[in-house]
Copies of this chain bind each other. A is one copy, B any other.
């Protein structure tokens, strides 16, 4: 709480005036991230846009959200069951999108959907956190292209 207050440039007392407990503050952060993820889903039109377009828009939208809210999902799981349930629902929504991408021929159908989904998450996370100089549109270009085509020399 000291570190958070310092980073925010205020006194610990002020933080405690806004958030009764440390858990309450964490919950607020979790919810803020979840709200922003929902926005990205809507903007990407995950359920109805053509999958190639939706994929790119999703990645372009989620990279800045990930950067701004680098939340530890394990911590959310332990500390805030409500937020975690919501996160799991968002995850299922993304799974359905991946399934749609397979059905529509964008993703391969010879690998488990769980694997496709996990790779999507990991490549996005890599672009978001390890290549912070990539602007979201460039990051999306690279993520989508690498994911679809691989890094092998063809």
Write the residues of chain A forming the contact surface with B, with a CB cutoff of 8 angstroms.
Answer: 102, 105-109, 111, 114-116, 118-120, 122-123, 125-126, 130-131, 142, 146-154
- Closest B residue to A150 by beta carbon equals B150
Question: How far, in angstroms, from A118 to B126 measured CA to CA in the complex?
Answer: 7
Other-chain contact of A131, B115, B123, B150, B153 (Cβ < 8 Å): B115
Q: A10 to chain B: closest CB distance in Å?
A: 26
Contacts of A142 in B (CB 8 A): 111, 115
Contacts of A115 in B (CB 8 A): 126, 131, 142, 146, 151
A-B contact list, 26 entries, CB within 8 Å: A105-B153, A107-B151, A107-B153, A108-B153, A108-B154, A111-B142, A111-B151, A114-B131, A115-B126, A115-B131, A115-B142, A115-B146, A118-B130, A118-B131, A119-B123, A120-B151, A122-B122, A122-B125, A122-B126, A147-B150, A147-B152, A148-B150, A148-B152, A149-B150, A149-B152, A150-B152
